[in-house]
């Protein structure tokens, strides 16, 4: 098979592992810098040019689109889909996962566990927002934030109000969520491939940091998950329409609650913590499912 991967940094662990796994199984994988792809949008023969040459003959595309270039990356991914190239994760599903508010609304619609979440435009509604989530402490999140950036804990009502008003003063969109105290500074990352859980790890934040992101100094260990946690992760990936997903949950007193579903989950932490060949399992899934024009465009966009 000939596989394209949309990724700006070929040196990242995840991208190197996917390349190695593909080559080990006899496939050709080409890493394409997403921003260097030029689209020729025509009615009958849509195409993509890369460094001046028309891309041809790809059987599948793996989107590893950075959050900062989501809009352009999705346009390139849609172009591959128009060309009949099978995507590991479809553009509609990736777009859903990148919108934290929309994701939460979809999860709520399907009855999946969530932290109590509030969203408002008017900074004058701060008291109302905090009342909805049960008061401080409160977690305030930028809708566009990733890897723990733009996530702040307001430990008291006054500090939470100050953070909310500061963010709104910058004219950025935020979510405000209840703080799941019993989870401490830990969460569970559950890796789903093709509707099945293939690995899980517990991430614990650095001392003094309530965020558990590995990029922010957190640590990861293998963890045994419950049937309810397994079911939650599989359902979350399914309602997003994602074939490959990293589902982040917290263990609350009322069961697992979803924090986020990542459509381009990193492989380094999960492979090191569990010793499993996740990259190989992703390539095997592509082998079993990729076929021309098989894009389902799950959902309505």
Structure tokens at 178: 């209840």
State how far the Cα of 192 lies from the Cα of 199, in Å rounded to an integer. Answer: 7
State how far the Cα of 145 lies from the Cα of 292, in Å rounded to an integer. Answer: 34
State how far the Cα of 300 lies from the Cα of 58, in Å rounded to an integer. Answer: 26
The verdict on residue 106 lying in a domain is no
Looking at the structure, do residues 169 and 189 belong to the same domain, yes or no?
A: no
Q: What pLDDT is stored for residue 2 in this prediction?
A: 97
The SS3 call for residue 193 is strand
The verdict on residue 67 lying in a domain is yes
Looking at the structure, do residues 188 and 166 belong to the same domain, yes or no?
A: no
CB 3 within 8 A of CB 30: yes
State how far the Cα of 150 lies from the Cα of 230, in Å rounded to an integer. Answer: 28
pTM: 0.87
Q: What pLDDT is stored for residue 183 in this prediction?
A: 81
Q: What pLDDT is stored for residue 301 in this prediction?
A: 43
Peptide bond into 137 cis (omega under 30): yes
CATH number of domain containing 256: 3.30.470.20
The verdict on residue 210 lying in a domain is yes
The verdict on residue 96 lying in a domain is no
Could you give the number of structural domains in the chain?
A: 3
CB 15 within 8 A of CB 29: no
The verdict on residue 99 lying in a domain is no
Which residue's entry shows tokens 């260097």?
36
Q: What pLDDT is stored for residue 297 in this prediction?
A: 55
Q: What pLDDT is stored for residue 23 in this prediction?
A: 97
Which residue's entry shows tokens 């100050």?
162
Structure tokens at 133: 């989530």
Structure tokens at 129: 């927002």
Q: What pLDDT is stored for residue 69 in this prediction?
A: 94
Looking at the structure, do residues 187 and 231 belong to the same domain, yes or no?
A: yes
CB 174 within 8 A of CB 138: no
CB 211 within 8 A of CB 205: yes
- Dihedral sign for Cα 286, 288, 290, 293, please: negative
State how far the Cα of 146 lies from the Cα of 238, in Å rounded to an integer. Answer: 22
pLDDT below 70 — which residues of the chain?
123-124, 144-149, 206-217, 293-301
Distance between start and end Cα atoms, the chain: 29
Structure tokens at 137: 């402490």
CATH number of domain containing 53: 3.40.50.20
Looking at the structure, do residues 158 and 212 belong to the same domain, yes or no?
A: no
Note down the domain range covering 11: 2-89
Looking at the structure, do residues 34 and 77 belong to the same domain, yes or no?
A: yes
Looking at the structure, do residues 38 and 54 belong to the same domain, yes or no?
A: yes
Phi then psi for 184, rounded to 5 degrees?
Answer: 65, -135
Looking at the structure, do residues 71 and 10 belong to the same domain, yes or no?
A: yes
The verdict on residue 131 lying in a domain is yes
The verdict on residue 275 lying in a domain is yes
Q: What pLDDT is stored for residue 299 in this prediction?
A: 43
């Amino acid at each position: 098979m000939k596989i394209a991967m949309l990724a700006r940094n070929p040196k990242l662990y995840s991208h190197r592992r996917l390349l190695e796994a593909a080559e080990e199984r006899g496939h050709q994988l080409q890493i394409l810098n997403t921003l260097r792809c030029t689209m020729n949008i025509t009615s009958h023969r849509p195409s993509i040019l890369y460094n001046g040459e028309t891309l041809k003959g790809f059987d599948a595309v793996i989107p590893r689109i950075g959050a900062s270039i989501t809009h352009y990356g999705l346009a390139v991914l849609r172009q591959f889909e128009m060309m009949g190239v099978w995507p590991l994760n479809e553009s509609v599903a990736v777009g859903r996962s990148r919108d934290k508010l929309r994701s939460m609304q979809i999860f709520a619609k399907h009855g999946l566990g969530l932290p109590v979440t509030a969203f408002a435009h008017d900074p004058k509604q701060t008291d109302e927002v905090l009342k909805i989530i049960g008061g401080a402490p409160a977690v305030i999140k930028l809708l566009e934030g990733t890897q723990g950036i733009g996530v702040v804990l307001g430990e008291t009502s006054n500090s939470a109000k100050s953070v909310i008003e500061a963010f709104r003063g910058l004219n950025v969109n935020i979510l405000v969520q209840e703080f799941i105290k019993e989870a401490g500074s830990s969460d569970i990352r559950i890796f789903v491939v093709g509707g099945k859980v293939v690995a899980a790890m517990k991430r614990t934040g650095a001392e003094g940091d309530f965020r558990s992101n590995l990029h922010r100094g957190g640590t990861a260990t293998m963890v045994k998950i419950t049937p309810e946690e397994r079911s939650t992760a599989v359902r979350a990936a399914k309602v997003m329409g994602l074939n490959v997903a990293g589902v982040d949950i917290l263990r609350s007193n009322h069961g697992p609650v979803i924090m986020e579903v990542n459509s381009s989950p990193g492989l380094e932490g999960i492979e090191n913590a569990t010793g499993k060949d996740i990259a190989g399992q992703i390539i095997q899934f592509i082998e079993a499912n990729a076929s021309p024009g098989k894009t389902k465009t799950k959902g309505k966009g």
